[in-house]
């Protein structure tokens, strides 16, 4: 049985690592890894391969940055001959990036079965490019692996046959549990001179937050307000860095500790000891829930409602006062030493990839 995995962007690497490891245990499975090159630099790509023990890709499509249409088209053009030559039984795509939808479309049109890991998540916000990628990818997929029950409901509502849907848990949390002991040895907070539970971590990269000058300035203003309460570490995503330059925002206030995007182990080490995390990332909402660290999501919606219902996540209005107040109450949760109340969502037990491999091997050949 031949399986081709597709990765392209930072969150994909974190998700694919346990799946490849698990399928390696099956001697009758031949795996090939395609890296589309959507993210290609050291900080967003190479470091993840090293730290997460991901094999070197069998092929790099090298598409690079471009507008969404050009990038999607380039990925499709480059992936089609690979698919024709390798003749996989299944193409595995993960998450919701352009590489996910582009390769799913190519495979489906060639009659190759598509497996989507992290299927069914919905923000119901069609202005989000990722939402379009999610819906289209799910419609093209033969096997849909979900991380939470709300995703099953979304898929059933959209008419996906129930036998295609497999609730397996969360591969991102498989990776987190596996690498947490190693991440803890990094002690990044010590190296940065920070006290556990007395600092905030910020990540921002969603187009709705960083592609408009007004939205980005408002968030920076809010972060500056927080930095007067508590130290703030801000690993700046290249997309956000580019926008700061384009908008002529030269330097951020010195009270905000701006750093390059961190490697997985350093970032996990920082998250693990944080007092509060402010983010618009999908994966970080899940990781904070698994770690029991309060998360304030800087968006009007989330496609991961289980992180709010059972985890530590809270949606916060994009208004400086509301954000400041939410930070204050999140930090107060640590004052009696206990931190937030939270439950680990169902099947977030570090064994999602094992379940995925079982399904692929049983019904994939």
Positions in the binding site for ligand UDP (CB under 6 A) = 10-11, 14, 203, 205, 235, 261-262, 264, 267-268, 281-284, 287
Tell me how far, at minimum, the Cβ of 115 lies from ligand UDP, in Å: 19
Active-site annotation holder among 5, 35, 116, 205: 205
- Select 231 or 235, whichever has its Cβ closest to ligand UDP: 235
**C-beta closer to ligand UDP: residue 22 or 118:** 118
Write out the chain in H/E/C secondary structure. CEEEEEECCHHHHHHHHHHHHHHCCCCCCEEEEEECCCCCCHHHHHHHHHHCCCCCCCEECCCCCCCHHHHHHHHHHHHHHHHHHHCCCEEEEECCCHHHHHHHHHHHHCCCEEEEECCCCCCCCCCCHHHHHHHHHHHHCCEEEECCHHHHHHHHHCCCCHHHEEECCCHHHHHHHHHHHHHHHHCHHHHCCCCCCCCEEEECCCHHHHCCHHHHHHHHHHHHHHHCCCCEEEECCHHHHHHHHHCCCCCCCCCEEEECCCCHHHHHHHHHHCCEEEECCHHHHHHHHHHCCCEEECCCCCCCCHHHHCCCEEECCCCHHHHHHHHHHHHHCCCCCCCCCCCCCCCCCCCHHHHHHHHHHHHCC
Q: In the complex with ligand UDP, which residue's Cβ is closer, 22 or 130?
A: 130
Q: How far is the CB of 93 from ligand UDP (least distance, A)?
A: 14
Instruction: Give me the least distance between CB of 205 and ligand UDP, in Å please.
Output: 6
Nearer to ligand UDP, 105 or 268 (CB): 268
Question: Shortest Cβ distance from residue 85 to ligand UDP (Å)?
Answer: 30
116 included as an active-site residue = no
280 vs 354 by CB, closer to ligand UDP: 280
Cβ 122 to ligand UDP, closest distance in Å? 15
Q: Which residues form the catalytic set?
A: 205
């Amino acid at each position: 049985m031949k399986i081709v995995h597709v990765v392209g962007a930072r969150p994909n690497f974190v998700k694919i690592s346990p799946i490849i490891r698990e399928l390696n245990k099956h001697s009758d499975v031949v795996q090939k890894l395609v890296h589309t090159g959507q993210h290609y630099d050291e900080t967003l790509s190479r470091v993840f391969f090293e730290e997460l023990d991901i094999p070197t890709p069998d092929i790099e499509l090298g598409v690079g940055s471009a507008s969404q249409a050009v990038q999607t088209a380039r990925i499709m053009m480059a992936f089609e001959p690979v698919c024709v030559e390798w003749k996989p039984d299944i193409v595995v795509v993960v998450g919701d990036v352009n590489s996910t939808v582009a390769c799913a479309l190519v495979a489906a049109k060639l009659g190759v079965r598509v497996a989507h890991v992290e299927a069914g998540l919905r923000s119901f916000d069609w202005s989000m490019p990722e939402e379009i990628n999610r819906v289209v990818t799910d419609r093209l997929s033969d096997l849909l692996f979900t991380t939470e029950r709300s995703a099953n409901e979304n898929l059933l509502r959209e008419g996906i046959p129930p036998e295609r849907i497999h609730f397996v848990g969360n591969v991102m949390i498989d990776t987190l549990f596996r690498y947490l002991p190693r991440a803890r040895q990094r002690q990044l907070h010590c190296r940065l001179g920070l006290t556990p539970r007395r600092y905030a971590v910020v990540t921002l990269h969603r187009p709705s937050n960083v592609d408009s000058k007004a939205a980005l300035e408002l968030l920076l203003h809010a972060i500056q307000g927080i930095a007067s309460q508590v130290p703030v570490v801000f690993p700046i995503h290249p997309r956000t860095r580019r926008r700061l330059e384009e908008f002529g925002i030269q330097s951020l206030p010195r009270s905000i500790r701006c750093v390059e995007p961190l490697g997985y182990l350093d970032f996990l080490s920082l998250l693990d000891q944080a007092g509060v995390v402010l983010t618009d990332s999908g994966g970080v909402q899940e990781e904070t829930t698994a770690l029991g660290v309060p998360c304030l999501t800087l968006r009007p919606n989330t496609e991961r409602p289980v992180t709010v219902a059972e985890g530590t996540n809270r949606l916060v209005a994009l208004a400086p006062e509301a954000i400041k107040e939410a930070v204050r109450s999140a930090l107060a949760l640590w004052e009696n030493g206990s931190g937030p109340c939270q439950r680990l969502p169902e099947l977030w037990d570090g064994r999602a990839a094992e379940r995925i491999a079982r399904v692929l091997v049983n019904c994939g050949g």
